[in-house]
Structure 1
Amino acid sequence: MSVKLTNHFYLFENLLLNWNNLAKVEKELVELDKLIEEYNDDQLLILAANDKYKCLNCIEDLRKQIFDQVLTLDRFIDVKLQNKDSTELKHSSDREHDFFNYELDENGIALEITSGVGGQESSLFVNELFELYNSYGLWLGLQFNILHSGKTDIGGLRKAKAEISGDPYLVKNFKYESGIHRIQRVPKTEKSGRIHTSTVAVSILPIYLDIDVEIHNKDLRIDTYKAQGKGGQHVNTTDSAVRITHVPTGLVAECQEGRSQIANRERAFEILKDKMIEHKHANATSHFTNIRKNQRGTLGRSEKIRTYNFPQDRITDHRLPDKAFHGLKKSFQEQTPTLLHDIICSIDDYLKNLKFHQIMSRFS
């Protein structure tokens, strides 16, 4: 425990060091901006611009380091306080819960798009959005493996599914897409020119390539007893049968097939492991079902995370305050993913800054 405390003490020292360095570089950046406004000499302007570029890169690196350090300390403090009083910070587990962690990213993600309100218009947009995601994944250099995309009579998709894998850092970009996407436009089948509003649901799920379990001896209770049933001289005379109980889950495995207690113990352990894998798979399936349900909601228009307004050529992501993105039509017509990338990067920066200030408020 003292080693862990020492490690976190040094982490806190490095955090303060980076924090002070960030303040210095930000002050230097302000001074450079003032100088750039005052300079008339072209050579001095070039030098100042280069210094400003270095400052901006340095600020970005320091903020990333500080964010990671603060997040680590925040989790460490949560664990210590929860051990002291499990009810005091019950909300912290909810706040920190994020199914999309680095282990799952290494295996990739499953992308699902389902049509919602709007009938045929909704299914058409499922197809368009799925194609845009495909272009975006390939643009990032990821593998986009289409699993299901059966077309409707009018060229739409009621449901589309793909697995995306590759660089975990880039795969994580897709996690911000989960939720209800609202579309506002005049459908091709609309003769009066009236704007329709429809929705599609995007779900982002982790992928388990192989489910394995780790069993610790301290979690096991092993009982031996006399074998029951027909048999030779060992039945009902020696404690050859074995029962292993995994205390945390309550799963039990028994074996009395062999005459040797050692052989029965090994077989019971294998049975227990199979049961735990099955148990973990069932929990994962239930967990994914809850994730999908939470991301989709009721598929209603009011639950949207993003609105695609085609008449105004504008995308509004409702997680970003007072910010809109233009160039919607070109993005979908030409399947150019740069606009989508700009939106995702903006969300990532905004949420990281929000999380950063939330965590720092705990230290103030």
Structure 2
Amino acid sequence: MFDKLEDIVLRLEEVLNQLSEPDVASDAERFRKLMKEQSDLTPIVEAYKEYKQNKQNIEESLAMLEEENDEEMRELAKEELNESKQKVEELEKTLKILLLPKDPNDDKNVIVEIRAGAGGDEAALFAAEIYRMYVHYAEGRHWKVEMMECEEIGIGGMKSVTFMITGQGAYSVMKYESGVHRVQRVPETESGGRIHTSTISVAVMPEVDDDIDIKIEDKDIRIDVMRASGNGGQCVNTTDSAVRLTHYPTGIVVYSQTEKSQLQNKAKAFALLKAKLYDIEQQQRHDAEAEMRRSQIGTGDRSEKIRTYNFPQGRVTDHRINLTLYKLDKIMNGDIQEIIDACIAADQAAKLAKMNEN
């Protein structure tokens, strides 16, 4: 581990030297890559420097305890020794986490697709509420949310909704939302007051940018242009600008109608199709690496039931990490950071345990 850390220190020096070259800004792609590498390496180097400083403090405190006779000075040395030892332990854990292999998609924007499952209109109403939950969460982080496609029902629900979240590291946190979300409550449409269970599925896909090669052949695609349809509201406009793409090899159909311009809807539809094709590729890779998927916290299996929202009891339970919180109202308003942080911590712990086995 320490050889690797020394190499990282040297690499950061190289990157900083290259960034100080006068002509570096003229090559935008090279400049972007160097800035990204600097941003990735700096936290590791800073933690390592702090680790080495505390190791040095331990040596100095031990030397003082050997040489010093004054009781007050010895107490100070003991105090410093204990503090530095504790800090070294904490920093060792931090450095191990920082050195874990990064998901190459973590820094990407995300495309989120929510679909109503079992439960009819109630599932569609819950899908709309989960969509609003994510919008509030994204706004709280100053991320941009852009709708790509949606299918509404007349009573304020959504059979399906797809949207993009643009923000630094969006995939690194939103990926933990993939899976089946279950709601338990008395539906507004239920006259008998019985509690129903409904489900929705959430798929979180990284945006496919230029560094990912997803080829779509012209012969494999059909493009249809039509007038937007639906119940009105935020998803629909009234010109012949809606675009539907059919991808023959996979049978995937995507539909975009949220923009006024046909060109913009076409661009959105292709972005969504690319994300779905890349997602299929990722799922196949996950299935092939079954061991890796088992070590992850719920980021591999779309059919996995990950969370229950129980309205009568005001609780939300994440089944992957056995976390139950009694603040359903706040969570439905976008306060999901505590759940995401717990998922990240559990994921890191599982990966560290696997690394220690090897």
Range into which the TM-score falls when normalised by the shorter chain = 0.5 to 0.7
Which of 272, 278, 285 in structure 2 is aligned with 1:284?
278
TM-score by length of 1: 0.52
Q: What residue identity is the alignment partner of 1:296?
A: R
* SS of residue matched to 1:199: strand
* SS of residue matched to 1:311: coil
1:172 aligns with 2:202: no
Q: What residue identity is the alignment partner of 1:66?
A: K
Counterpart Cα distance in 1 of 2:276 and 2:161? 24
* SS of residue matched to 2:130: helix
Deviation (angstroms), 1:289:
7.4
2:351 matched to which residue of 1? 355
Deviation (angstroms), 1:6:
11
Which of 296, 305, 330 in structure 1 is aligned with 2:302?
296
Counterpart Cα distance in 1 of 2:286 and 2:161? 14
* Deviation sequence 1:24-76 (CA, Å, 0-9, x none): 99xx9xxxxxxxxxxxxxxxxxxx9xx98x9998866542312233x35xxxx
1:122 matched to which residue of 2? 123
Deviation (angstroms), 1:198:
0.7
* Deviation sequence 1:283-307 (CA, Å, 0-9, x none): 737426769997433xxxxx41111
* SS of residue matched to 2:151: coil
Decide whether aligned partners of structure 1 residues 356 and 6 sit closer, same or farther in structure 2, where only a CA change above 3 A counts. Answer: closer
1:162 matched to which residue of 2? 163
More divergent stretch after superposition (283-292 vs 158-167): 283-292
Counterpart Cα distance in 2 of 1:291 and 1:164? 24
* Deviation sequence 1:201-250 (CA, Å, 0-9, x none): 0001122133676xxxxxxxxxxxxxxxxxxxxxxxxxxxxxxxxxxxxx
Decide whether aligned partners of structure 1 residues 105 and 118 sit closer, same or farther in structure 2, where only a CA change above 3 A counts. Answer: same
8 Å Cα contact 2:108/2:168 also seen in 1 = no
Deviation (angstroms), 1:309:
0.8
* SS of residue matched to 1:296: coil
Deviation (angstroms), 1:310:
0.8
User: Larger C-alpha radius of gyration, 1 or 2?
Assistant: 1
TM-score by length of 2: 0.53
8 Å Cα contact 1:203/1:296 also seen in 2 = yes
Counterpart Cα distance in 1 of 2:353 and 2:330? 36
8 Å Cα contact 1:205/1:288 also seen in 2 = no
Deviation (angstroms), 1:345:
0.5
Deviation (angstroms), 1:327:
1.0
8 Å Cα contact 1:144/1:162 also seen in 2 = yes
1:67 matched to which residue of 2? 97
8 Å Cα contact 2:111/2:163 also seen in 1 = yes
Q: What residue identity is the alignment partner of 1:137?
A: A
8 Å Cα contact 1:180/1:295 also seen in 2 = no
Deviation (angstroms), 1:329:
2.8
8 Å Cα contact 2:171/2:206 also seen in 1 = no
Counterpart Cα distance in 2 of 1:350 and 1:131? 26
- Where does structure 2 lack aligned partners over 5 or more consecutive residues? 9-43, 59-78, 214-273, 288-299
8 Å Cα contact 2:109/2:207 also seen in 1 = yes
1:346 aligns with 2:342: yes
Decide whether aligned partners of structure 1 residues 291 and 166 sit closer, same or farther in structure 2, where only a CA change above 3 A counts. Answer: farther
- Where does structure 1 lack aligned partners over 5 or more consecutive residues? 29-47, 73-99, 214-279, 298-302
* Deviation sequence 1:89-137 (CA, Å, 0-9, x none): xxxxxxxxxxx933x3444111000010111110000000000101101
Counterpart Cα distance in 2 of 1:296 and 1:196? 23
Within a 5 Å distance, the mapping from 1:111-150 to structure 2 comes to 111-150=112-151
Counterpart Cα distance in 2 of 1:161 and 1:282? 11
Q: CA RMSD in A?
A: 4.2
Within a 5 Å distance, the mapping from 1:197-236 to structure 2 comes to 197-210=197-210
8 Å Cα contact 1:110/1:204 also seen in 2 = yes
